[in-house]
């Protein structure tokens, strides 16, 4: 009887602890996770569950940091489901005092890879062996684009994702991808150095070779070929990362995700009350036009989303600004502040040495 009573008491304590843990997690996130808290707890040692918890935490951290700078505005939190499997949580703030549009999305989707998406991956050198023409996949990530009102506050984008594909013989291919990059309207060297240094520190914890490699990859990836210029002043970018080991890559991705708030929020704080002229606002609108061109023509994530059946178009196009302009043959005067940023976009700089 005594042993049974003791067992019951321990079981009750464990259940209470679990409820407490669940309540704490609920308060920590912007919405309940796509896979459900119980399922995540049941599989908490699996990397998929740990990655989902990481992207949920990153979403909440970034949303809270942005909301603290724009107290008059609030995030609309929108949970959605995908009938083919999975779903996501979109958090979008619009028309604030500081941010014109800021979105932080989480998606956790699974199903069968579309032909188009599989073709895109094979073109990157992936040998994917389908079973009866089908490739089951699971993909999850957190993705954000922040468009501030003030032209002296840069736009920022980050994305961290995990992909898993099951091949015909049951083997699983997996990889991580992601990055964080900055797109200023006007160049501020001190901000550029702060941004790059923070990302370099996150990379250096794992391997000193990572920052220079991923900085170059970022400059090459965010290249608008038809304009001959980069989308912004870069940061880091990587894809198809599957070594040295799953755990080591996950820890690296975690360090990068944790660097988002410290690399960007101080820059917003510093400039969100700067005064600006109508001409500076116009230049911001023209630069945003370039942002849109890159996202719709070249961005791999946007393309993958548009090619995936049942994907949520509103979430994919969340990265686009509320307003942008395309003026015919607009050329800024030589040696102007506008020409200065163009010079850096055409010839990327090393900001940390």
Q: What is the full DSSP assignment across 268-295?
A: HHHHTT----HHHHHHHHHHHHHHHHHH
CB 96 within 8 A of CB 82: no
Contacts of 273 (CB under 8 A, 6+ apart): 150
Alpha carbon 157 to its chain's center:
6
Q: Which residues of 81-94 are buried (b: 16+ CB within 10 A; e: fewer)?
A: ebeeebbbbbbbbe
Q: Is 157 a catalytic residue?
A: yes
DSSP states of 297-310 as a string?
HT-HHHHHHHHSTT
190, two tokens: 């001190």
Active site residue: 147, 157, 196, 271, which one?
157
Angle at 232 between CA 230 and CA 234, to 5 degrees: 95
Query: How far apart, in whole angstroms, are the C-alpha atoms of residue 257 and residue 253?
Result: 6
Active site residues per annotation:
157
């Amino acid at each position: 009887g005594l042993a049974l009573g003791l067992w019951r008491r321990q079981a009750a304590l464990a259940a209470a602890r679990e409820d407490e843990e669940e309540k704490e997690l609920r308060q920590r996130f912007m919405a309940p996770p796509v896979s459900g808290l119980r399922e995540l707890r049941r599989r908490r040692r699996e990397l998929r569950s740990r990655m989902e918890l990481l992207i949920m935490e990153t979403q909440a951290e970034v949303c809270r940091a942005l909301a603290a700078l724009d107290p008059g505005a609030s995030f609309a939190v929108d949970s959605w489901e995908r009938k083919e499997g999975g779903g996501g949580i979109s958090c979008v703030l619009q028309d604030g005092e500081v941010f014109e549009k800021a979105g932080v999305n989480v998606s956790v989707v699974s199903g069968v890879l579309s032909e188009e998406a599989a073709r895109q991956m094979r073109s990157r050198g992936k040998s994917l062996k389908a079973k009866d023409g089908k490739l089951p996949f699971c993909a999850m990530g957190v993705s954000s684009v922040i468009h501030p009102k003030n032209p002296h506050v840069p736009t920022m984008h980050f994305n961290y994702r995990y992909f898993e594909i099951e091949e015909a013989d049951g083997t699983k291919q997996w990889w991580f991808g992601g990055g964080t990059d900055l797109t200023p309207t006007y160049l501020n060297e001190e901000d550029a150095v702060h941004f790059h240094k923070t990302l370099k520190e996150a990379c250096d914890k794992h391997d000193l070779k990572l920052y220079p490699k991923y900085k170059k990859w970022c400059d090459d990836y965010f290249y608008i070929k038809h304009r001959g210029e980069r989308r912004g002043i870069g940061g880091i970018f990587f894809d198809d990362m599957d070594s040295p080991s799953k755990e080591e890559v996950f820890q690296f991705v975690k360090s990068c995700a944790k660097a988002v708030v410290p690399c960007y929020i101080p820059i917003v704080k510093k400039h969100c009350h700067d005064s600006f002229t109508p001409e500076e606002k116009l230049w911001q609108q023209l630069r945003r036009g370039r942002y849109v061109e890159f996202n719709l023509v070249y961005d791999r994530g946007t393309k993958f989303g548009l090619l995936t059946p049942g994907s949520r178009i509103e979430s994919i196009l969340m990265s686009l600004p509320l307003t942008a302009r395309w003026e015919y043959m607009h050329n800024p005067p030589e040696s102007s502040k506008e020409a200065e940023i163009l010079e850096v976009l055409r010839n990327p700089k090393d900001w940390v040495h």
